[in-house]
Amino acid sequence: MSVFELHGRKALVTGGARGLGAGMVQALAHAGASVVIADISEEIGRATAGTLSQSGLAVKFVPLNITDEASWEAAISLTISELGGLDIVVNNAGVEISELIIDLTPQNLLRMLEVNILGTALGIKHAFRAMRPQGAAGKGGAVINVSSVAATIAFPGIAGYSATKSAVDRLTRIAAMESGKLGYGVRVNCIYPGLVPTEMGTQLAVDMEKLGLYPSPQAAVGAVIGLTPIGRLGEVSDMADAVVFLASDASRFITGIGLPVDGGMGM
């Protein structure tokens, strides 16, 4: 068996109903894993799980609000009983609200802090509790957090979002350190995706025009591409394949890193 394969592994992907998360679910399942979509959007999540199952992949849906501790406890326990274990947790769910610092709205920033930082931190916590030797799954594994190229560059209009994604980067490294030192057997890494035209990515380009930073969404996209040596936007599969790598034994000696998947934009 190739070290890139995931046969027999059990995975949970937050925000897996659509966008980057749905692509990660599909790629993990293609690599052989059984996967749970854990999302606050039940209708879209169940539909995505249904479509992927019909194409022969082992994908189920579990409701989850990542900002809620009780919801995490229920989702992890349901996942372990549905899949028979848990080896991979992808903390992908996130929100982005563009605004200029001069117009910063406390509730917008608090919303991003809650989902992107608290939600990811709770995801790491409950992954550790389940996957460490005395946990309900108990076999160690891999956690992959989704940060952003926004944590590595200075792009106007996304200060609050960038701050939360920088926090995801730090959470990742300290989690990797604690897991190693305390013998949890869980590798923890993050990726920094470049701009991908999902609902979030497309809205960001629209917001750049609304904020008066670029004359049109196309101009904002053009600016991003101009900053990207590979010369295009990211694709969902670019992010998904990086997650499969970090989930697999091919990355067995890698922990505590942030992997740019951004066409070189953040170098």
Ligand X SMILES: NC(=O)c1ccc[n+]([C@@H]2O[C@H](COP(=O)([O-])OP(=O)(O)OC[C@H]3O[C@@H](n4cnc5c(N)ncnc54)[C@H](O)[C@@H]3O)[C@@H](O)[C@H]2O)c1
Catalytic residues: 161
Among 17, 33, 57, 175, binds ligand X (CB under 6 A): 17
Spatial neighbors of 109 by CB under 8 A, at least 6 apart, are: 160
Stretch that binds ligand X, among 2-10, 192-200, 209-217, 243-251 (CB under 6 A): 192-200
Q: How far is CA 46 from CA 38, 110, 198, in A?
A: 10, 29, 19
Minimal distance in Å, beta carbon 93 to ligand X? 4
The verdict on 196 binding ligand X (CB under 6 A) reads: yes
The verdict on 19 binding ligand X (CB under 6 A) reads: yes
DSSP lists the bridge partners of residue 151 as none
The verdict on 25 binding ligand X (CB under 6 A) reads: no
Minimal distance in Å, beta carbon 214 to ligand X? 16
The verdict on 62 binding ligand X (CB under 6 A) reads: no
Among 29, 31, 93, 117, binds ligand X (CB under 6 A): 93
**β-strands 141-146, 88-91: how paired?**
parallel
What distance in Å separates the CA atoms of residue 156 and residue 94, rounded to the nearest whole number? 19
DSSP lists the bridge partners of residue 188 as 143
Nearest to 169 by CA among 189, 184, 186: 189
Complete DSSP assignment for 64-106:
--TT-HHHHHHHHHHHHHHHS---EEEE-------B-GGG--H
Q: How many residues bind ligand X, per CB under 6 A?
A: 30
Stretch that binds ligand X, among 4-12, 87-95, 128-136, 174-182 (CB under 6 A): 87-95
Nearest to 158 by CA among 198, 213, 218, 118: 213
Task: Pick the closer one to ligand X by CB: 130 or 196.
Answer: 196
Task: Pick the closer one to ligand X by CB: 32 or 119.
Answer: 119
Q: Using CB under 6 A, list all residues that contact ligand X.
A: 14-15, 17-21, 39-41, 64-67, 92-96, 115, 119, 146, 148, 193, 195-196, 198-201
